[in-house]
């Protein structure tokens, strides 16, 4: 029962995404804009850009994720789908996990794919690119899982965009620190494995606990 429900939810989400393709491109375009603005502000000197490239890319990814976070469950709350989720004969946490991973795949994953091009724009040394990609692959789904909890807590509020950002940023800061710090450690000749392992551990814990917390928050919001 859980796999047919997951497949139906993914198909529905992809169809809705296709109908509003312009909105789906906003996070990627926003991240590109942030990178370009940083590159213009810091000048064209490769040495200057290379020192901040990893941090700039991670800030761009984080902010673009915040841009799309408020819409994670709001559409379902407005059209009544969220009530159907709660009445469905499958665990609500499972549907939340499927929705969150679909949201990550359609918003953050394109940025991960485009990261080598953006890194080249910022003159990131190619030796640091594998560490950056590993941090993005571990950190971006962790951001989505943490953000889902915040989005669920504010789903019943109108115009909660700023509130979502204020609540999510404290949860995002450790991910940003360990991710950008891993690339910085690699640039300085140190082993970046420690920071990546912290991200992997955080992702493993979030995969188990975040859907449960999100489901509980959704039930409280609609109580």
- State pLDDT tens for residues 32-58: 888 888 888 887 778 888 888 899 999
Q: State the Cα–Cα distance between residues 80 and 85, nearest whole angstrom.
A: 9
Q: Give start and end residues of each alpha helix (H) in 88-128.
A: 92-107, 109-121
**What's the confidence (pLDDT) of residue 201?**
96
Tally the residues of the chain.
Answer: 223
Nearest to 49 by CA among 57, 181, 182: 57
- 8 A C-beta contact, residue 180 and residue 196: no
Query: pLDDT means per 10 residues in the chain (223 residues)?
Result: 81 80 75 86 81 90 85 79 82 92 89 90 90 95 93 77 82 93 90 93 95 91 69
Q: What is the CA angle 89-69-206, rounded to 5?
A: 60
Q: Residue 71: how many CB atoms within 10 A of its CB?
A: 16
- pLDDT tens track for 165-179: 888 889 999 999 999
- Both tokens of residue 18? 């296709």
The pLDDT of residue 159 is 65
Q: Please give the pLDDT value at position 193.
A: 92
């Amino acid at each position: 029962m859980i796999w047919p429900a997951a497949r139906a939810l993914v198909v529905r989400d992809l169809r809705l995404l296709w109908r509003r393709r312009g909105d789906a491109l906003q996070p990627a375009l926003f991240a590109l804009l942030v990178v370009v603005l940083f590159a213009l502000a810091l000048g064209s000197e490769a040495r200057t850009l290379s020192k901040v490239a990893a941090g700039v890319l991670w800030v761009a990814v984080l902010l673009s994720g915040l841009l799309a976070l408020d819409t994670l469950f709001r559409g379902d709350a407005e059209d009544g789908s969220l009530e159907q989720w709660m009445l469905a004969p499958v665990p609500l946490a499972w549907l939340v996990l499927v929705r969150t991973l679909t949201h990550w795949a359609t918003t953050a994953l394109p940025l991960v794919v485009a990261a080598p091009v953006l890194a080249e724009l910022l003159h990131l040394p190619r030796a640091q690119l594998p560490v950056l990609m590993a941090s993005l692959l571990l950190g971006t789904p962790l951001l989505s899982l943490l953000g889902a909890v915040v989005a669920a807590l504010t789903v019943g509020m109108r115009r909660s965009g700023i509130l979502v950002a204020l609540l999510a940023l404290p949860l995002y800061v450790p991910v940003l620190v360990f991710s950008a710090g891993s690339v910085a450690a690699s640039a300085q000749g140190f082993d970046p494995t420690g920071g990546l392992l912290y991200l992997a551990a955080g992702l493993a814990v979030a995969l188990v606990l975040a859907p449960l917390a999100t489901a509980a928050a959704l039930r409280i919001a609609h109580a």
